[in-house]
Amino acid sequence: MKTTGLSGNEMYCLDKIGYKAGDIVVGNSVHALGVGRSIGSAFRAIVGGEVVQFTNLIEEGRAAALGRMEEEAKERGSVGITGVSSEIVFHGTNIEFLSIGSSLHTKSNNGEREELRFSTSTDGQDAYAQVDAGYEPVKFVFGNVAYSIGITRGIIGAFKTLARGEIKEFSDIFNKTRHLALERITNEARKAGANSVVGIETTILPLMGTGLQEMLMIGTASNNPSLKKDGVVTSDLTAQEMWNLNKMGYAPIKMLIGTSVYSLGLIGGITSFVKSFVKGEISELSKLIYEARENALAIINKEADKIGADEVVGVKTYVYKLGGGLIEFLAIGTAVKKIDGLTCKSTELVPQAFTSDWETFVNTAEHSFGVDLNSGI
């Protein structure tokens, strides 16, 4: 008997590419920050930028948890692991790094032990679509960077918030940290002998009690024989999007990121505040957000031209309030290029690859009878 985290749709899709469900596998590692690291990071946070001590601590913890999960999968004689996660749980001043996935066996296996060949961040449905498009999974990979805006940069930025426009100091640090994470996940894929990282998911996590944030990217290092061997392709397209583009002859080249930090400025802030009492457009705010958006999109368009892309697809845009009258505008997309030799194994994807599973457990107990169960009362 197997205990799996895979849904019925995932099991159906994995069956199509020759796999069946194994057990859930787990790996964890609990770390303490330590006095030395705390002091070093405190000094680094004053200047702003990457806080290497924290980056290294988190990287070590995530890698340890992933390694233990893989060992458990090997002990169970699994051929692969799908749906791998890399989470952080805070226990007071200690940090637990946790990885969970569902192990797989080949469909023809009758209980024999197999050699662990791959791990993937995608669920069973996405794994099916990626493999059908020619991307064979190799290894779950991640790239991370812990960073601080820093007191020094904060002071410079505070003076500039008196004027309207881009705060270059903030834009630079945000662009640098986001590209560092992408560079690191690419390097991990290269070490694994892969020529692509697909299905990249990006998360910004606050590191509780430190005043820092972690930029985390996870994805699946894969090999596609139709792609060039001398580099690593990166993409944040969904597996289904990538399959469709593959069918049209387009291959991903690189995931692109552009970010701009803008200030409304003291004068603009006062003007928009006064206008907020009157119905109608606040033109100062409209222009600010428009300029920030154009600047972020210009960054990714410039890089796309540089690498010879035909299109930038799947562009997603986000606006964040940073406080103090500052906003960040972030644009993420994937540059693609039409190349010869791209094929998909199937003429169409099965409907189960697109079907979302229903949530069958809903917890409303925390709000029952007006009592907050988290309060300890």
Render pLDDT for 117-171 as a digit per residue (tens, 0 to 9).
Answer: 999 999 999 999 999 999 999 999 999 999 876 655 554 555 555 556 777 777 8
* Dihedral sign, Cα of residue 150, residue 154, residue 157, residue 159: negative
**What per-residue string of b and e applies to 270-293 under the rule 16 or more CB within 10 Å gives b?**
ebbeeeeeeeeebebbeebeebbb
Task: Quote the pTM value.
Answer: 0.86
Give the pair of three-digit tokens for residue 255: 């995931």
Burial of 259 per CB tally in 10 Å (0-12, 13-18, 19+) = buried
Per-residue confidence (pLDDT) for residue 323, from 0 to 100: 64
CA–CA separation, 292 vs 261, rounded Å? 7
CA–CA separation, 237 vs 254, rounded Å? 11
Render pLDDT for 1-29 as a digit per residue (tens, 0 to 9).
Answer: 789 999 999 999 999 999 999 999 999 99
Share of the chain above pLDDT 70, in %: 81
Name the 3-class secondary structure at 221. strand
Q: How many CB atoms lie within 10 A of CB 115?
A: 8
CA–CA separation, 256 vs 303, rounded Å? 7
CA–CA separation, 21 vs 353, rounded Å? 16
